[in-house]
Each structure stands twice: as structure tokens, then as C-alpha cells.
Amino acid sequence: MNMYFGKIEGNVHVIPFMALYMFYNSDFTAFSNIEAESSYRYSPITRPNSKGGQRFIGYRVEIKTYVPHTAYIDETAYGESMLERLNTLVQNRHDVQLLLGKRVNTLPAEHRGDSSNATEGLWVEFHRLLRMTYEIESVPFKPRLIITHSGIVPKINMS
């Protein structure tokens, strides 16, 4: 079947990075209302072949999620703090999902955040393939959490 991608009208959507979901040991951790600097990137890994070309091997993935929330040590809501949960996730491979734009959102209403002006939505999924680190840096008046996922995947998977 021939495919044409020329028509612009109705085919260019606003799909911002809305939320980071992580699943480990049947526990769910979500960060929504993340900062606009948050980003994800798939970079191809290639190696030269003997015909003068490049052989595609896979994708290097890096996801940076900038989190404005500062409730790092508060245990009142869930019985463990955000830092404890982050430490668990750092030490264990877990599933990662990114919510882009508007999709069916599994978060409680008060945690969904603004739907922004998204006109389309996507899920980006990674099955135990990424490792996570986090850092906390100071920005004016408050600390800021940066969660980084990185790894190598064979193909881009969106739904």
C-alpha cells in the first residue's frame, strides 16, 4: 500500500510530554504536572559496515523528567516517602511509560494536571529496558528533582 504524508491540515498535532509512569513490583509511581524542560530522545546506534554504509543496531534512549514537586520526605500520604520510592526504582529494572498529549489517563483526577492544548496523544512504552537515576538541583527558591531514564532499545514503540 502506498503511503503519503504530505497533507498538513489535521495531521500536525500538539503532543506534549505530560507524565511519567513507572511500574515495579505491582506498585505504580507517576509524576504528572512536570516541567516543560522535560524531554525524551531516541538516537540511533549505528556501526560502519564493509560496504561503506551504516548498519542500524538499535536506539539509545534518554528521558529526562523535571519534577517541580518538593515533597521528598513526606510519608503521610503513602506510608513511604518519594525519596524511598525513587531509591527503590533506581535499584530495580522497571517498566516505564510516557504519557504524551491527551490519551486515556489512568491517574486520579486531582493528579492529572492540565490537559494543555494537546490535540493528539501517544503512549511511549519501555519494558524493563531502561535504567534510572535521579538528581536534585537547586533552582531559584527551591530544589528541583530530575529523573533520568536511559538505555538501549531495538525499536521505537508507541501506541
Partner 1 sequence: MSTIILRYSDTPLTSLTFSGTATEQYEFDPAINLPPVPVQELVQGKLLSGRRYSHILYTHLLFDFTISADELSDVIDITDTPDVMPASKAFIRDFILAKYKYISYPAGSNYIEVIKEGNGIEVTYIEDYIYLPEFRLQLITASPVDPTTLTNLALKPISMV
For binding to partner 1 (CB under 8 A), which residues are involved? 45, 47-51, 55-58, 60, 125-129, 152-155, 157
Q: CB within 8 A of 43, min separation 6: which ones?
A: 59, 60, 61, 62
Phi, psi of 75 (to 5 degrees): -105, 0
**Smallest distance, Å, CB 129 to partner 1?**
7
| 48 or 108: CB nearest partner 1 | 48
For partner 1, the closer of residues 82 and 99 by Cβ is 99
Work out how close the CB of 99 gets to partner 1 at its nearest, in angstroms, rounded to a whole number: 17
Question: Among candidates 153, 144, 150, which has minimal Cα distance to 58?
Answer: 153
Under 8 Å between Cβ of 98 and 21: yes
For partner 1, the closer CB: 7 or 47: 47
State the minimum distance, in angstroms, from the CB of residue 121 to partner 1: 19
Q: How far is the CB of 95 from partner 1 (least distance, A)?
A: 10
Q: Are 82 and 71 in contact (CB under 8 A)?
A: yes
Q: How far is the CB of 41 from partner 1 (least distance, A)?
A: 16
Considering the complex, state which of residue 111 and residue 127 has its C-beta at the smaller distance from partner 1. 127
Q: Classify 4 as helix, strand or coil.
A: coil
Is 21:96 a contact under the CB 8 Å cutoff?
Answer: yes
Q: CB nearer to partner 1: give 58 or 113.
A: 58
Q: Centre a 10 Å sphere on the Cβ of residue 121 and count the other Cβ atoms it contains.
A: 18
